[in-house]
Amino acid sequence: MSNRKNKVDFNTQWAEVKSAIEEIMNNLNVGITNEKWMKTFTNVYNLCTKPTNRETPRRSRSQQGAQVSGGLVYEKLRELLEEKVRVYYSGCSDLFEEPLLKFLSQEWTTFTTAGRFIKFLFSYLDRHYVPRQTGGGKSDVYLIYDLHLVIFHDELYKKLKTKLVSAVLNFIAKERIGEHIDRSLIRKIVDIFVALGQTRGKGEASLLIYRQDFESFFLQDTDKFYQQESARFISENNVSEYMMKAEARIDEEVARVNAYLHPSTEDRLLDKCVDVLVKQRIKLLWKEFEELVQIDKLDDLQRMYKLLNRVPDGLEVLRDNLEQIIKDKGLDALEAVKDQAIKDPRIYVETMLGTYQRYHRLVQNAFRGDPGFVTSLDKACKKFMNDNAVCRAGNSPSQSPELVAKFCDMLLKKSSKNPDETELSKTLNDVMIVFKYLEDKDVFQKFYSKNLAKRLIHGSSVSEDAESEMIGKLKAACGYEWSSKLQRMYQDVTVSREMNTNFKNFIKSKNYTLDVDFSVMVLATGFWPLSPPQTKFAIPGQLEGCVNHFTNYYNNTHNGRKLNWLHQLSRGEVKVKLRGKVYIFLVSTYQMAILLLFNTNEKIKFEEFQEHVQLNPPHLQGVLTTLIKKKVVIADPEKTNDHGTTYSLNAKYKNAKSRVQLNVPIKVEQHTDNEATHRQIEEERKMLIQAAIVRVMKSRKTLKHQSLMTEVIDQLKSRFKPNVKIIKKCIDLLIEKEYLERTQGQKDQYNYLA
């Protein structure tokens, strides 16, 4: 009796629940009152938890209690939702295109928004009934909101899918040809595709409906559209215009994804567009590249880079082509100036820098500093800066570093043509760019050291700050060991100043008298790259006393040290009176010795010069030639077989300046000095190669010939490009010295001997 009174009238309470659900669906903006909401929630709870007077469905009779009642409620809700969606379908089954999309979008919004409210009313089912059913293996029971999506899919979407997808694709096709469409409407339909897949699983599985039903067809349409458009456009326009069109289309597709497609479509869509618009036209773009580079079409090159960067390995051909273009341009530019450049290092360096800077700007601006294009620039510069017409004209494989070193000497030596401090610093930075590409850096280092030595000895540096700045740059590029020698050279100059002061004090203390203003620089042999004199020389009598006094002073001060006089680097000033005017000639010691002979002789024969100054004939002739070219000395035109040419001072000499520079390098001396420098470089290279071989073999113990060659070259390539033949000779020499031995029975393998 009491059991019947506690039973719930299922039909009555469900009717109330159904009325509330229909009110929610039909009046979303208004909804239901709080009182009705709470009553409906209570009714659902009671129907699920209390016995009812309704018979249990056959398929649920095995269940008891709340599970049985929950199943009745779940089935009634399913029937109600299916009925509602069928009504939706009847209202749109005859619609097409935009009317269909609008109707579906509106009803979807109504149905799913209502579903979010309804799931709260039926939350008891989500918490208890659904988990028990799914846990028991049932696959057709869903959470309440998911049930809405499943019913919408089965009762409406499946029936309209073909028309729906076609309508969306037609909208997109219209937009691609320039027509205006309602993007928000397409966005809502795409959201339906995505949302309906959420019941299929998580991650990629949740996008299955979107992928299969929409995206696959969308990508097919995209391929077809751009195949037709690109073929037509390229036949009517040039490559530059085609690239602009392709770039614009790709940007449009990215904007399309952002506006109304799922973000995951972007990669697939771009792959399709790039394949059709770029990859299938790639040979046409490659073919156009060289012309665009030649005319510096930065905008088009930027566009080409951006497009081809989307294609795997699409830029490799451009990188190879750019390397060849830069190399050819550099070689052509140097070929055009080879006659001037071999004489003027400034032209040589500025021509190379001009080519580098043009294409460096191109790489940075057009190719965004892409490492691959930077490598192409580096390879090309290395090739044309080390092997070009100027190098071949100079008959020297090391002509390039030698000329660059001479250019540095021009910059850092006092001259009326010197740039200001800011410009000089910039130019030194530019020189270091060229230096980076030089293969034989040791040649540059040797000539730079010799030129620096001469600047310091002659006091001709433009400034100590500029010299220090350049040494700092070379230190960063070459390391401390080499730059430390340059620093020591500066130290010797400072010490020499102090020594001259002490020498003068010594002269005063001994009551000696010097006939000339005499000063000396004492330079440490191990740090100064100076060659010994290439000729004998007899010191003029006017200087002999000074030399002897200083030698005695030095020997007394520094016991055990030996002085070697480098007269070829010495210089001085002599006063000469010609036509009543006194001139001060700035001369070398060799020139001074010759001019002093005219104090006692009006005319002097070549043999007499040689007897007094003891210079060998080529050097003597070089000094006389210089004085003749400066019109200070004249050679008598008359010759006799017995006595040869006679020379005299030019009594008619005239110059507006009172101080005249006569100290210019003698060609024979320059040539001899250059030859000696190159011989020294070759000898130093042999020692470096031997040291590298020993280092490698000491660490490896046993090594094949080719592997040894490779490792030695790799170790030395930062200083110079080793000659393979020289390496082989050095290996043989080390075998003779018993540092290495050939492995018995294997001619191409070596063992290290400790």
Q: Which residues pair with 461 in a beta bridge?
A: 413
Name the residue type at position 280.
Q
pLDDT of res. 528: 86
Q: How far apart are CA 552 and CA 62, in angstroms?
A: 129
Summarize pLDDT for 455-486 with one digit per residue, the tens: 988 888 998 889 889 988 988 888 787 778 88
Q: Residue 587 in 3-state DSSP?
A: strand
CATH of 2-200, one of 3.90.420.10, 1.20.58.340, 3.10.580.10, 1.20.1310.10: 1.20.1310.10
CA distance 649 to 647: 7
Rounded CA Rg of the chain: 48
Least confident of 254-258, 347-351, 740-744: 740-744
Question: For the residues 417-441, what does the mean pLDDT come to?
Answer: 91
Give per-residue pLDDT as tens, 2-12: 445 567 889 99
Give pLDDT, residue 532: 82
Of 359-368, 473-482, 568-577, 649-658, which has the strongest mean pLDDT?
359-368
Q: Which residue has the tokens 């905008």?
A: 299
The whole-number pLDDT of residue 414 equals 86
pLDDT at 267 over 60: yes
pLDDT, mean of residues 629-657: 80
Look up residue 567 and give its DSSP letter. G
Is residue 135 exposed (0-12), middle (13-18) or buried (19+ Cβ within 10 Å)?
A: exposed
* DSSP H or E segment with residue 751: strand 749-752
Q: Which of 611, 592, 626 shows the shortest CA–CA distance to 518?
A: 592
What pLDDT, on a 0 to 100 scale, did the predictor assign at position 492? Answer: 87
Instruction: Name the more confident of 747 and 468.
Output: 468
Q: What pLDDT, on the 0 to 100 scale, is given for residue 144?
A: 95
Closest Cα partner for 386 from 362, 410, 404, 361? Answer: 404
Is the pTM here over 0.85, yes or no? Answer: no
**pLDDT bucket at 672, cuts 50 / 70 / 90:** low
Residue 169's pLDDT is what? 97
Greater pLDDT, 8 or 397: 8
Looking at the domain that runs over 570-665, which CATH code has it been given?
A: 3.30.230.130
Q: Which residue has the higher pLDDT, 651 or 145?
A: 145
List Cα–Cα distances, 571 to 463, 587, 610, in angstroms.
Answer: 21, 6, 20
Model confidence over 179-217: pLDDT tens digits?
Answer: 999 999 999 999 999 999 998 888 889 999 999 999 999
Per-residue confidence band for 1, with pLDDT thresholds at 50, 70 and 90 = very low
- 575 beta partners: 584
Indicate the pLDDT class of residue 62, thresholds 50, 70 and 90: very low
Domain positions in the chain are 2-200, 214-293, 493-557, 570-665, 670-752
- Alpha carbon distances (Å) from 18 to 76, 316, 710: 9, 69, 87
Each residue's pLDDT tens digit, 290-331: 999 999 999 999 999 999 999 999 999 999 999 999 999 999
Domain 670-752 = CATH 2.60.40.10: no
Asked whether the beta carbons of 740 and 724 are under 8 A apart, the reply is: no
Asked if the domains 214-293 and 570-665 are classified in one and the same CATH topology, the answer is no
pLDDT value, residue 234: 94
pLDDT at 396: 72
| Helix, strand and coil percent figures for the chain, each rounded to 5 | 70, 5, 25
Q: What is the pLDDT of residue 231?
A: 96
**What per-residue confidence (pLDDT) applies to 507?**
86
Q: Looking at residues 63-72, what average pLDDT do you find?
A: 62
User: What digits encode the pLDDT tens for the residues 548-564?
Assistant: 888 888 888 888 788 88
Q: Which CATH number fits domain 214-293: 3.40.630.40, 3.30.230.10, 1.10.3720.10, 1.20.1310.10?
A: 1.20.1310.10
Please state the rounded mean pLDDT for residues 450-455.
90
Quick check: 748 and 729 in contact, CB under 8 A? Answer: no
**Terminal-residue alpha carbon distance, the chain:** 112
Q: What is the pLDDT of residues 489-523, one digit of tens each?
A: 888 888 888 999 998 888 888 888 877 888 899 98
User: Residues 150-173: pLDDT tens digits?
Assistant: 999 999 999 999 999 999 999 999
* Cβ atoms of 470 and 426 closer than 8 Å: no
**What does pLDDT average to over the chain?**
89
Q: What confidence tier does 638 reach under pLDDT thresholds 50, 70, 90?
A: low
What pLDDT shows up at residue 383? 95
pLDDT at 368 over 80: yes
> Measured between alpha carbons, how far is 749 from 161 in angstroms, rounded to an integer?
75
> Average of pLDDT values for 731-744?
88
